[in-house]
Amino acid sequence: MCLYGCPYGLIFNAADAVDRMVRSGGLTYRPGFHAIRFEERGDGVRVCSARETVSGDRLYVACGVLSTAMLSLRSLGALGQRVTLKDSQYFFLPMLQRRGSGDPSREPRHTLAQMFWEIINPDVNPQTVHVQLYTYNDTYAPDMKRRFGFLAHMLGPMTEMLSRRLIVAQGFLHSDSSHRIVLRLEGGHGSERLVYEAGQNSATASAIVRASRAVSRVGRLGGLLPLPPLLRTGSLGSSFHCGGSFPMSASPNGLDSDVLGRPGGLRRIHIVDASVFPSIPATTITFSVMANAHRIASLA
Ligand SMILES: Cc1cc2nc3c(=O)[nH]c(=O)nc-3n(C[C@H](O)[C@H](O)[C@H](O)COP(=O)(O)OP(=O)(O)OC[C@H]3O[C@@H](n4cnc5c(N)ncnc54)[C@H](O)[C@@H]3O)c2cc1C
């Protein structure tokens, strides 16, 4: 949903913004243009797909962190060089409402988070822990049936009833408390592939324990019954909040970007997605990615 927006058009959808800019004449959209290489030439830039080459004064790259890494490493001739993608580790903690509040399946609703909690407590984590609370969703009961199999079958209608009282807390950690993904481009000219390796962070497991205990404490104050045995930890990269592979720096080294998102000493090519974040916060990142892209495009 975040990537494509609401099917009923009720929340922001980037495609609507693109359509608006195209209609106003400020943007030419070329569907199917898959960038495979960029380069700076004199006082301009070129970006090539398999079919055509487009030239301009400046290039802004926002292909999403993996595609941006592939495109940039290939274009910078950085075969075999390692870049580190910082991740935001997440976990799920289910909780039950002690008291029912009608039948949520009959209420008009959406699948977005209903509430955010920010845990700002250095005893829990040096950086903020971000928590999103999801209330009733009609995928809960089928998920419980799949997960608890025969037990859920025995409980029958109880499973439906429990799913109506279920609140799922999704907690996120800052990248300093999360594992990392090390990326490098391998292969010969024209057949490169991006290779991934996990970079373990010894602080992550204990940070999840402290954060989930803090969520449980707050949940109990709000009349919820936390279910710690059902705590689930997301696998590396599955939070979809990652970046920092070409981090912005006031004094960039190697493939780092400068404060205008230009990696490896480039002057006219700017990365404007989460790849240039110095770190990944626990909070949702898309709005900050958009704000940073706007800042770079305004200043460049
Ligand atoms: C299930 C899910 C839930 C999420 N929930 C949230 C949330 O609640 N809040 C939040 O802030 N974030 C959320 N995110 C994260 C958010 O979607 C991403 O942070 C955001 O989309 C990143 O934006 P981007 O512009 O960097 O990349 P993308 O949105 O991935 O856009 C990259 C674009 O570039 C195109 N592209 C890729 N390669 C090439 C190429 N070589 N040539 C030309 N075009 C190319 C792609 O087709 C795509 O259109 C969620 C992500 C997922 C998957």
Residue 6 has pLDDT above 80, yes or no: no
Residue 2 has pLDDT above 70, yes or no: no
Residue 102 has pLDDT above 80, yes or no: no
pLDDT for the residue numbered 22: 96
The amino acid occupying position 180 is R
pLDDT band at 159 (very low <50, low <70, confident <90, very high): confident
pLDDT band at 5 (very low <50, low <70, confident <90, very high): low
Pair 93, 212: CB distance under 8 Å: yes
Residue whose CA is closest, atom 21 of ligand 1? 3
Residue whose CA is closest, atom 33 of ligand 1? 63
- Tens of pLDDT, residue by residue over 226-246, are 999 999 999 999 999 999 999
Pair 246, 271: CB distance under 8 Å: yes
Cα distance between residue 91 and residue 269, in whole Å: 36
Mean pLDDT of the chain: 91
d(CA 76, ligand 1 centre) in Å:
23
Pair 157, 82: CB distance under 8 Å: no
| Mean pLDDT to the nearest integer, 79-105 | 91
- Tens of pLDDT, residue by residue over 166-186, are 899 999 999 999 999 999 999
Residue 43 has pLDDT above 80, yes or no: yes
| Mean pLDDT to the nearest integer, 190-203 | 94
pLDDT band at 4 (very low <50, low <70, confident <90, very high): low
| Mean pLDDT to the nearest integer, 144-168 | 77
d(CA 191, ligand 1 centre) in Å:
24
Cα distance between residue 21 and residue 93, in whole Å: 41
Query: Mind giving me the DSSP string for 168-200?
Result: EEEEE--GGGS-EEEEEEESSTT--EEEEEEE-
Cα distance between residue 202 and residue 111, in whole Å: 34
Residue 56: its H or E element:
strand 53-56
Residue 1 has pLDDT above 70, yes or no: no
| Mean pLDDT to the nearest integer, 191-218 | 96
Decide which of 111 and 86 is more confident: 86
Cα distance between residue 101 and residue 223, in whole Å: 12
- Tens of pLDDT, residue by residue over 263-298, are 999 999 999 999 999 999 999 999 999 999 999 999
pLDDT band at 9 (very low <50, low <70, confident <90, very high): confident
Structure tokens at 286: 């898309």
Residue whose CA is closest, atom 26 of ligand 1? 64
Q: Which atom of ligand 1 is nearest to 71's Cα?
A: 41
The Cα-based distances of 116 to 85, 172, 191 in angstroms read 25, 11, 44
Cα distance between residue 289 and residue 247, in whole Å: 13
Cα distance between residue 197 and residue 237, in whole Å: 11
pLDDT for the residue numbered 167: 92
Structure tokens at 216: 């449980």
Residue 213 has pLDDT above 80, yes or no: yes
Residue 45: its H or E element:
strand 44-48
d(CA 284, ligand 1 centre) in Å:
13
| Mean pLDDT to the nearest integer, 31-48 | 94
Query: Residue 273: exposed, middle, or buried by beta-carbon count in 10 A (0-12, 13-18, 19+)?
Result: buried
pLDDT band at 248 (very low <50, low <70, confident <90, very high): very high
Residue whose CA is closest, atom 4 of ligand 1? 2
Percent of the chain at pLDDT exceeding 90? 75
pLDDT for the residue numbered 205: 97
Structure tokens at 52: 């055509």
| Mean pLDDT to the nearest integer, 124-137 | 94
What's 282's DSSP letter? Answer: S
How does strand 269-271 pair with strand 59-61? Answer: parallel
Structure tokens at 206: 């204990």
Closest C-alpha among 173, 199, 184, 224 to residue 82:
184
Residue 18: its H or E element:
helix 14-23
Q: Phi and psi at residue 266, in whole multiples of 5°?
A: -65, 155
End-to-end Cα, the chain, rounded Å? 32
pLDDT for the residue numbered 178: 98
